[in-house]
Chains A and B, each alone.
Chain A
Amino acid sequence: ETGVTQTPRHLVMGMTNKKSLKCEQHLGHNAMYWYKQSAKKPLELMFVYNFKEQTENNSVPSRFSPECPNSSHLFLHLHTLQPEDSALYLCASSQDHRGYNYGYTFGSGTRLTVV
């Protein structure tokens, strides 16, 4: 139990499907993040939320839609994805996104395959 739980662990979806990834943290953190990790590419930060407000969107295509209803839950809604969106999607949380000495706690990730 890492304190950050992601579901599902694996997801296969067609390009016309709509699905959602869920992330939940039990650590009392106030910042949450979505990362994308593709094969042979560095980790890419997608979205940042602090106190459930989005503070960063790194030019992510609109087919990815985040939602943060409260500081403990973070969703990534997916629709009309492309095969190149296949990747490991990691959720993370931290105590304070403004503090450099706070590391992130990561979930186990959702391995997404778009067919």
Chain B
Amino acid sequence: AQKITQTQPGMFVQEKEAVTLDCTYDTSDQSYGLFWYKQPSSGEMIFLIYQGSYDEQNATEGRYSLNFQKARKSANLVISASQLGDSAMYFCAMRGVNAGGTSYGKLTFGQGTILTVHP
């Protein structure tokens, strides 16, 4: 079984500052992928960034970076230079392949963190 934990129900940040959204995970899979999605109030889930469990370098996508610490089973999202448009719900998710080589075929999501950017 897989489990994603996001311990911050809400976070506040000042415009132009950096913010870190926490994500820890639990899995027995040998190989897995970690994802972050953004959900504005409109409802759409927007893919932000991906990190593979065997990737040695932390993933980066523009202002988004993923602080991956495999031993601690954490995959925190860092947003640099926050903008007002970053205000949204953020979800951490993962999917993996078990030792038998079959895939669960589904993303497991955390509870989400609501980020509010203040001007």
Contacts and interface: CB of A to CB of B under 8 A. Distances in A.
Interface of A: 2, 31, 33, 42-43, 45, 48, 50, 55-56, 88, 90, 92, 97-109, 111
A100 B33 contact: yes
B50 A103 contact: yes
Given A42-B111, A48-B106, A88 B50 contact: no
Contacts of B35: 103
A17 B87 CA distance: 36
A104 B37 CA distance: 10
A33 to B, nearest CB: 7
Interface string B64-87: 000000000000000000000000
A111 B42 CA distance: 10
Given A43-B91, A55-B105, A103-B47, 12 more contacts: A42-B111, A45-B107, A48-B105, A90-B43, A90-B45, A97-B105, A97-B106, A100-B29, A103-B35, A104-B107, A106-B44, A108-B44
Interface of B: 29, 31-33, 35, 37, 42-47, 50, 52, 91, 95-97, 102-103, 105-107, 109-112
